[in-house]
Amino acid sequence: MTGPQPVAKPEVVSGSKAGGGPLIRAGTSLIPDRIFYAAVLSCGLCVLGLVGVIVYQLVTKSALSWHAFGWKFFFRGDWDPVSEQFGAWPFVYGTLVSSLLALMLAVPLAIGVAVFITEMCPRWLKGALAFTTELLAAIPSVIYGLWAIFVMVPLLREYVEPLLGRYFGWTGLFEGTPYGIGMLAAGIILAIMVVPIVSSITREVMTAVPQQQREAVLALGATRWEMIRTGVLRNARAGILGGVILGLGRALGETMAVTMVIGNRPEIARSLFAPGYTMASVIANEFSEATSDTYLSALVEVGLALFLVTIVVNIMAQLLVWSVTRGMPARSHG
Amino acid sequence: MAKTAGQTGQFAIAPVSLWRRGMNSLVTLAAGAAVVAVLVPLGAIFVYLIYKGVGAINWAFLTQIPKPVGEAGGGMANAIAGSGYILAIASIMGVPIGIGAGIYLAEYGRNRFGDLIRFTADVLNGVPSIVVGIVAYGIVVIGQGHFSALAGGVALAIMMIPTITRTTEEMLLLVPNAVKEAAYGLGVSRWRTTLSITLRTATSGVITGVMLAFARVAGETAPLLFTAFGNQYWNWKVSQPTAALSLQIYTYAISPFDEWHRQAWAGALILIVLIVVSVSAVRIVAGRGMLKGAN
Amino acid sequence: MGVGIKVEHLNAWFGKTQALYDISIDVPANHATAVIGPSGCGKSTFVRCLNRMHETIPDARATGKVRMGELDVYNGTAAVQIRRRIGMVFQKANPFPTMSIYDNVAAGLKLNGFHDRKRLDEIVERSLKLSALWDEVKDTLRKKSGASLSGGQQQRLCIARALAVEPEVLLMDEPCSALDPISTGKIEELIFQLKENFTIVIVTHNMQQASRVAEFTGFFLLGKLIEFDKTEKIFTTPSDKRTEDYITGRFG
């Protein structure tokens, strides 16, 4: 048994001979501590400052347009750079319709995927499936757009839209020539992009529901679906709603993929086959070509509106998600 | 007198009704169908990327700059390099600020003010990337008078900072208190403990967060549209417009030329490979490093 | 030689809750003093006030006077300087997980700016010998990480780490409570040896341990120091009835 060696007792040089050992000259470190604190504090303040900078830039650069057109800016339909008349209603309409269409398609799919992964999936498949859905979130928007232009749009033009036009044309939503490019294409590609977010949040809040809840329902003799419905989904309701709203936020701000397939025409039509224009798209397309100050200012005002709407939507979503997961530090989404 | 269960025999193992069983199976099927419906586009995208992209990737593509319109050949070398250049500029600004803010939140920010910063970071994460482009335009491009790599870098840095801040904070909080106490007990100062002990223990996690922010930002196009703007030639000057891979893909994709479409697929393939590699590397590093570091 | 610690009217709070009430005690130099008492009586808090670790907890504060030799622990000296002269070993061994054994022992010196390689080597060897770990790790000093050792070895590593900065006092907060009997025995032997050159204060909930290693013992109850005397006296003829009740196992 190794214990204190009776043989080689080391010479102990203890404290008060030198009054504190080899560290006698080490300082108090008060000043370095303060400098460090100041440095990291200023980094934290930078984060706050960033929001300030964003708001400042958006507000000041849109002032011109605001003074020229006032509130009506968002309700007028005439976007005419030549005569310097700017009304953003077509973009607002396009943004709303494409986002809502995307949500209608994405939410059932996303919840279905989340339910499958958390409650129905065999253990060995879970990790792979979760990874692949997260992979979807990592694909850049421009690549979605590229694929959409050359693969999805022809599909829509040749097969899907004629079919929809034939059987559902009576609704008025599927009329006109199927170009492929248009509101429907934008809605579909947006839906694909939004599914990963809604699905991952739904999975998160579903996993947060305690096991006891599930067991309580099962013990009453429920089938698996009934258990999921009353034991899990019902408890996670608020969080799922939060996830959906977060998806909405993402859809509202999405630029590249939508720009590439929506047709970029500031028109309002009932048919989903018709081209449209969104707030993000008009900025992307016209910002670098804006010839006059008013033109640029109008575009910035569109950007300001987009900013405010997405902020509000995201805050609502965060609050809802936090209420279920009890404010755990948010993981970076997507 | 009430009849008990045993007497009536009604409550002896009652079969689950056909309706309920049917619903259960239907829902399982629907959920499975949802998974398939989601995986199909994913698979299709990767398949097409490889199918259309591989053919167009060759040595010329990786080393040459674009040829004038109409001529065949040329490549995206300047765009690939440009993306790296802009990302480097963005990182120089974004990574230190992000990590610094994360340190602040973990060490000094367990209070209302810290909550405000946390909340702001989460809000910033949701700002549409095109809006960030407008802001960078206002800050840099207007002042300089022209598009520039710096402007692009600023835009991407703004997008990186909130992500890095939150992940750094999360990783630092995972370091057990006992380890910090050990350092304090030895008379190590606060700043030294935070840097040499806490941050050192959380290193792999913090790097994970930085790489995640990287991967997210590497494919962004919208914020570069009117900041870095793009360039047909090589550019290494910080204050001049610079090509970027994502921008090039976009420009080529919406062009009317088949040759450019081919190259767009090639560029997309390269971009996605770079991103998938970094995301997977992140998972491996995280899986290994965390166990070693934060135990 | 170690120095003694003189505590006068020490009071400590966690936020609004008071944890220590008017503690006055004279910890003698070069002896081991045990601090015993039931859970929650404030013994850990007391010991952590001696090297100002108490104030690392948010909203914690302490008032009173603590003197180590000629040094006033609370007034006029920075906490970091105090902690280099009063070392601490914690309940659960906490070696730095990313550092090798060598780096762990040298950590207190390196992190405080001491980088003389030759002297570091000497100090590391000496500290590991002092804590009876040298023979077991001398071949893998730089190769193995501090966290790869067994529980008992980790705790001895932490003791070596604390000794490397050559403190005058060593505080031990229930150092053996997470260890098996054999490791405990080794550490108790250590304390016996260390007493000659250091002043030791050891918090323990194990009364047998107190009687084995410490010449003096203080009994704490509900934040107050009930009795402080030679260990022998505390355990055979305690002056206070509460002490007697605790010793005989009537509570705690």
Which domain CATH number covers A138?
1.10.3720.10
Question: Could you tell me which residue, A326 or C229, shows the higher pLDDT?
Answer: C229
Query: What does the angle CA A35 – CA A37 – CA A42 come to, to the nearest 5 degrees?
Result: 95
Instruction: Please indicate whether, in this complex, the C-beta atoms of C84 and A21 are within 8 angstroms of each other.
Output: yes
| Residue C37 Rama label (left phi>0; alpha psi -120 to 50; beta) | left
The confidence score (pLDDT) of residue B61 equals 79
Q: In this structure, is residue B29 part of a structural domain?
A: no
Residue of A10, A13, A15 with shortest CB distance to C129: A10
* Total of domains in chain B: 1
Into how many domains does chain A fold? 1
Mutation for A interface: C166, C183, C187, most A CBs within 10 A = C166
Question: In the structure, what pLDDT confidence band is assigned to residue A3 with cuts at 50, 70 and 90?
Answer: very low
CA distance B75 to C228: 85
Q: State the DSSP H helix or E strand holding residue B201, giving kind and residue range, or none if neither.
A: helix B200-201
Q: Is the dihedral of CA A258, A264, A269, A274 positive or negative?
A: negative
A169 sits in the region (left: phi over 0; alpha: psi -120 to 50; else beta) called: alpha
Q: How far apart are CA A296 and CA A298, in angstroms?
A: 5
How much of chain C exceeds pLDDT 90, in percent? Answer: 65
- Asked whether residue A39 is domain-assigned, the answer is no
CA atoms within a 13 Å half-sphere pointing along the CA-CB vector of B173: 15
Indicate whether A329 pLDDT > 50.
no
Domains for chain C: give ranges and CATH numbers.
Answer: 5-97+167-247 (3.40.50.300)
CA-atom Rg of chain B in angstroms: 27
**Cα–Cα distance for residue pair A309/A286, rounded to 1 Å:** 21
Residue B21 lies in a domain: no
Residue A77 lies in a domain: no
pLDDT at A207: 86
For residue C237, give how far its alpha carbon lies from the nearest alpha carbon of chain A (Å).
33
Residues in Cβ contact with A205 at an 8 Å cutoff, skipping those fewer than 6 apart:
A236, A238, A239, A240, A242, A243, A321, A324, A325
Strand partners, C201: C33, C171
- Express each pLDDT in C89-142 by its tens digit: 999 999 999 899 999 999 999 998 888 899 999 999 999 998 889 999 988 888
Nearest-angstrom CA–CA distance, B51 and B269: 10
Strand order in the sheet with C60-68: C17-27, C5-14, C60-68, C71-72
The one-character DSSP state at B66 is B
H helix or E strand, kind and range, residue B86: helix B77-107
Q: Which domain holds residue A98?
A: 88-325
Nearest CA of chain C to the CA of A325: how many Å?
Answer: 26
Instruction: Please give the C-alpha separations between residue B162 and each of A323, B123, B127, in angstroms, as whole numbers.
Output: 22, 9, 11
For residue A26, give the chain C residue with the closest CA: C112
Q: Could you tell me if residue B102 is inside a domain?
A: yes
State the pLDDT at residue B11: 52
Residue B250: give the domain boundaries.
Answer: 80-293
pLDDT band (50, 70, 90) for residue B15: low
Characterize A83-120 residue by residue with b for buried, 16 or more Cβ atoms within 10 angstroms of its Cβ, and e for exposed: eeebbbbbbbbbbebbbebbbebbbebbbbbbbbbbbb
Residues 56-95 of B with CB under 8 A from A: none
> Rounded to an integer, what distance in angstroms lies between the CA atom of residue B283 and that of residue A157?
40
Per the DSSP assignment, residues forming a β-bridge with C67 are C6, C72
Contact across the interface for B182 and C94, Cβ inside 8 Å: yes
Report the distance separating Cα B229 and Cα B221, nearest Å. Answer: 10
- Per residue in B171-220, pLDDT (tens digit) is 999 999 999 999 999 999 999 999 999 999 999 889 888 988 988 899 99
Interface of A with C in 260-319 (CB under 8 A): none
Q: Is B143 near chain A, with CB under 8 Å?
A: no
- Please give the ipTM for the structure prediction: 0.89
DSSP H helical ranges for C99-150: 101-110, 117-130, 134-137
Q: Which of residues 3-32 of A touch C (CB under 8 A)?
A: 3-5, 8, 10-17, 20-23, 26, 28-30
Chain A residue at shortest CA distance from C126: A10
Q: B182: distance to nearest CA of chain C, Å? A: 6
Which residues in chain A have their CB less than 8 angstroms from residue B137's CB? Answer: 287
Task: Please report whether residue B88 resides in a domain.
Answer: yes
- Give yes or no for a contact between B173 and A329, defined as CB atoms under 8 angstroms apart: yes
- What's the CATH number where B132 sits? 1.10.3720.10
pTM attached to this predicted model: 0.85
